[in-house]
């Protein structure tokens, strides 16, 4: 029983001393400097994240422009390679019909 009481008293003294140390002016200075360093690091990380986001937006815009130019080039190639006697500008409806021929609708019926 004496041992349990001794251990309890020693723990109580260490706890009390620890609270006093944590509440001291020197400890508060350390906390303030540590917090300031963390805030500076956060600002640096946010600046880097913003820069990365801006670069990613630039890359995305350039990729969209490349795809648009590629699609336009492919559309021109389809019209050039049509091979029909009369080729229309609208590649979706390019059938080569001269107007006197009947065209099949998508459901297979003639118009």
Q: Which pTM does this prediction carry?
A: 0.42
For residue 100, the model assigns a pLDDT of 44
pLDDT for the residue numbered 40: 94
Task: State how far the Cα of 107 lies from the Cα of 98, in Å rounded to an integer.
Answer: 21
Question: For position 70, what pLDDT does the model report?
Answer: 94
Ramachandran region, residue 96 (left: φ > 0; alpha: ψ -120 to 50; beta: rest) = left
Annotated domain spans of the chain: 14-83
Largest CA distance in the chain: 114
- A 10 A CB-CB count for 95 gives 13
- Of 67, 87, 69, 68, the C-alpha closest to 79 is 87
- List per-residue pLDDT tens for the chain, 111 residues long: 668 888 888 888 778 777 777 778 888 898 899 999 999 999 999 999 999 999 999 999 999 999 999 999 888 887 666 566 555 555 555 554 444 444 455 555 554
């Amino acid at each position: 029983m004496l041992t349990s009481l001794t251990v309890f008293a020693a723990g109580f003294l260490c706890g009390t001393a620890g609270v006093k140390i944590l509440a001291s002016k020197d400890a508060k200075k350390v906390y303030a400097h540590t917090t300031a360093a963390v805030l500076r690091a956060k600002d640096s990380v946010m600046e880097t994240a913003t820069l990365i986001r801006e670069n990613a937006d630039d890359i995305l815009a350039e990729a969209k422009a490349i795809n648009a130019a590629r699609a336009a080039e492919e559309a021109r190639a389809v019209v050039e390679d049509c091979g029909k006697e009369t080729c229309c500008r609208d590649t979706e409806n390019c059938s080569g019909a001269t107007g006197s021929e009947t065209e099949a609708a998508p459901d297979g019926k003639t118009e």
